[in-house]
């Protein structure tokens, strides 16, 4: 059933409340979600049909006397079947989840762009570096009340995000990407984003971290690779002067 569900996920299915993510990684999660929802619907409709069939076929009729009707129990083949079939369904969902998670967390050896994202009370900063760790550009939060910082990503290129926290645990969450990751002090969480279309998306802290947690907002802008690299070089000039 799960196999059918995942196969169906390739078609134009509704989003079922999730986001049609603008990254190849987010697409894996998106399709997993669609597969889960189709599997859920198949099971749900099957159960509803059984319920309505039982309600109508075994309703109390005129010819039935008083008292309980014939009681049926201990049907071994059926009991074994309805134990094993759900176990198989859960095993299938588990399998596809592991496959999708591995695809989402897979990192390439040589990403074109690297950005260190630092969460702190209460904001985010984005430091673009080269492979050696030299800072090429920094996006820091504007002064309070002057808007929120923006992380810029190049389209159709791999960007390695190294996520860290300066103080407590924060949640780096971009709903439209179908992705969330903890920013933890003393830990470097690494993952890749490979954007597939331009746009601006909202991000926020998803882990309650104190008084101004609600102000830990940011946006993500995906722009063409050429525009991105023009922007990056203009920032490099600023950093070096």
CA–CA separation, 157 and 112 (whole Å): 6
Q: What's the min distance (Å) between Cβ of 32 and Cu ion?
A: 27
CA–CA separation, 20 and 177 (whole Å): 8
Q: What's the min distance (Å) between Cβ of 141 and Cu ion?
A: 12
Contact 217, 174 (CB under 8 A): no
* Residue with Cβ nearer Cu ion (174 or 209): 209
Q: How far is C-alpha 119 from the chain's CA centre?
A: 19
What is the largest distance, in Å, between two alpha-carbon atoms of the chain? 96
Q: How many other CB atoms are found less than 10 A from the CB of residue 118?
A: 20
* Residue with Cβ nearer Cu ion (115 or 209): 209
Q: What's the min distance (Å) between Cβ of 205 and Cu ion?
A: 3
CA–CA separation, 233 and 229 (whole Å): 6
126's tokens: 């984005």
Using CB under 5 A, list all residues that contact Cu ion. Answer: 170, 205, 209, 216
Q: What's the min distance (Å) between Cβ of 178 and Cu ion?
A: 20
* Residue with Cβ nearer Cu ion (114 or 170): 170
Q: What's the min distance (Å) between Cβ of 124 and Cu ion?
A: 9
Q: Which residues are CB-neighbours of 233 under 8 A, at least 6 positions away? A: none
* Residue with Cβ nearer Cu ion (10 or 185): 185
CA–CA separation, 76 and 223 (whole Å): 61
Angle CA 129–134–136, to nearest 5: 50
Contact 174, 216 (CB under 8 A): no
* Residue with Cβ nearer Cu ion (77 or 186): 186
Q: What is the DSSP letter of 23?
A: B
Q: What's the min distance (Å) between Cβ of 153 and Cu ion?
A: 21
* Residue with Cβ nearer Cu ion (174 or 216): 216
* Residue with Cβ nearer Cu ion (122 or 193): 122
Q: What's the min distance (Å) between Cβ of 151 and Cu ion?
A: 15
CA–CA separation, 13 and 85 (whole Å): 25
């Amino acid at each position: 059933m799960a196999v059918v569900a995942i196969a169906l996920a390739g078609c134009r299915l509704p989003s079922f409340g999730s986001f049609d993510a603008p990254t190849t990684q987010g697409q894996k999660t998106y399709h997993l979600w669609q597969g889960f929802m189709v599997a859920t619907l198949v099971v749900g409709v099957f159960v509803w049909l059984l319920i309505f069939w039982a309600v109508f076929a075994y309703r109390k009729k005129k010819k039935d006397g008083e008292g309980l009707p014939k009681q049926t129990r201990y049907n071994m083949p059926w009991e074994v079947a309805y134990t094993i079939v759900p176990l198989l369904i859960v095993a299938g969902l588990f399998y596809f989840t592991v496959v999708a998670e591995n695809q989402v967390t897979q990192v390439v050896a040589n990403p074109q762009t690297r950005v260190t994202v630092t969460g702190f009370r209460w904001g985010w900063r984005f430091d673009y570096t080269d492979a050696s760790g030299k800072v090429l550009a920094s996006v820091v939060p504007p002064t309070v009340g002057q808007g929120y910082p923006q992380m810029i990503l190049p389209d159709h290129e791999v960007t390695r995000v190294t996520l860290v926290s300066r103080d407590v645990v924060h949640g780096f969450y971009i709903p439209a990407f179908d992705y969330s990751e903890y920013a933890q002090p003393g830990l470097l969480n690494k993952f890749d984003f490979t954007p597939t279309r331009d746009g601006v998306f909202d991000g926020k802290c998803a882990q309650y971290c104190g008084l101004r947690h609600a102000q830990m907002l940011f946006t993500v802008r995906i722009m063409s690779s050429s525009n991105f690299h023009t922007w990056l070089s203009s920032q490099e000039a600023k950093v070096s002067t």
